[in-house]
Amino acid sequence: MFGEADTVFLRNQHSLFAGLDAPLALDEYQGFTRQTDKNPKPGMDGLSFVLLGLYGEVGSLLSELKKKQRDKDAYQAYHESTLEELGDTLWYFANAASRAGLLLSEVAHRASAGYSNWDDANASLTFEQLQKLISPAQWPQPAAVVERGLLALAGKVGLLLEDHYQGRIERNRDALSSHLVEIFRLLISAAGDVNVSLETAARKNITKSLSRWPLEKVWPEHFDEKYPAKERLPRVIRMRFREETSGIRVQVIQEMDGVQIGDAVTDNRHPPDDYRFHDVFHLSYAAILGWSPSLRGLLRVKRKSDPAVDENEDGARASLIEEGISTWVFNHGQRHQFFRNVTAVDYHLLKAIKELVCGYEVDKLPMWQWEMAILDGFRVFRELREHRGGTVTADLNAHTLTFQAPE
């Protein structure tokens, strides 16, 4: 089953799956991979990218095994990380089968069947049924057994990659099919070796993919919508950023309706890096995420009518986490020209942010909103740097962040 939060999220995607609580069919999942495929090259023309992705994910599985062998019981994230990497591997594998014109149920059937019933594929075969067809190994498996299984999987994917680049499978569908059957057999076996449910791995991959690349962007209700007006973030915030020099200090003053908001901000770092304009990121979080404990404190709109929310969601720790995210993402952006000419944020950065906000209300929001908040924040930050100030408007209802140059 999908988790409760995942079920709500998926229902917003126009009932992508007929039964969210029913076992997931292989062909149903394969259809999902086709809908979420961002590869601009169709069919076999885009196979190179998919096979590189498949090989990379299998390599990530080996990397997780290496960490487990190195750190032993100290590596607590092994099972969850392996589950995620197997889900990603399944996505690339199902996509490769699609590009070869093969149904995932056909490949799975041949991976688990004898020659006598080679062509009797079941289009409604589920991941649960598939894994039961091959007797699962007893967990825990010795590390050497797991290592051999994953190395065999990596080796077979490597052979497929080599045959592809040598042109041996370009016009030979049977050869490609044979590779995929062997790879799927090894993939199923590897999942058993590491005690991972393919059903769970596929479902987690669905949620992860739609969090980053939804079929439809559905904006949730504001976190403070049901609170008194005096405890809500203003739905339109116009903040003027004014840079000034005071002695040897270069600082930025924020003003709203002619009133200074908060203290003057300096870079607090040597050498200077213009971090003094960083409050634009809090405005971006408010506009795109509907969340900013720091702004709530500055604008005095904390939700005091609910003491638990006031202390936990709007309290000092939440503000520190937001400031930490702003600083960390700023440093990352600085190494990448402040995301100039960038249209996507690295997945591992988004994943780390989600881990930082785990347990807070903003944890419910999908990755695409975080990505949008980061990119919009840096877009306006670059304008502030260029003009040495200006007015920034955060529209929480329209989910926009706009800039007006100073006169």
Secondary structure of 366-403 in the HEC alphabet? CHHHHHHHHHHHHHHHHHHHHHCEEEEEEECCCCEEEE
- Using one digit for the tens of pLDDT, what is the confidence trace for 48-86? 999 999 999 999 999 988 888 888 777 778 888 999 999
The pLDDT of residue 235: 98
pLDDT band at 196 (very low <50, low <70, confident <90, very high): confident
390 — phi, psi (to 5°)?
A: 145, -175
Give burial (CB, 10 Å; 0-12/13-18/19+) of 176.
buried
Domains and CATH numbers, the chain: 4-212 (1.10.4010), 229-404 (no CATH)
Give burial (CB, 10 Å; 0-12/13-18/19+) of 19.
exposed
Q: Report the C-alpha gap between 16 and 24 in whole angstroms.
A: 12
- Using one digit for the tens of pLDDT, what is the confidence trace for 230-280? 999 999 999 999 999 988 889 999 999 999 999 999 999 888 999 999 999
Tokens of 239: 């903040």
pLDDT(114) > 70: no
Quote the percentage of the chain above a pLDDT of 90.
Answer: 69
Query: Which amino acid, 353?
Result: I
- Using one digit for the tens of pLDDT, what is the confidence trace for 157-189? 999 999 999 998 887 888 899 999 999 999 998
Query: What number of other Cβ atoms are within 10 A of residue 74's Cβ?
Result: 8
Task: Give all strands of the β-sheet with 236-246 in edge-to-edge order.
Answer: 259-260, 249-256, 236-246, 389-395, 400-404
pLDDT(16) > 80: no
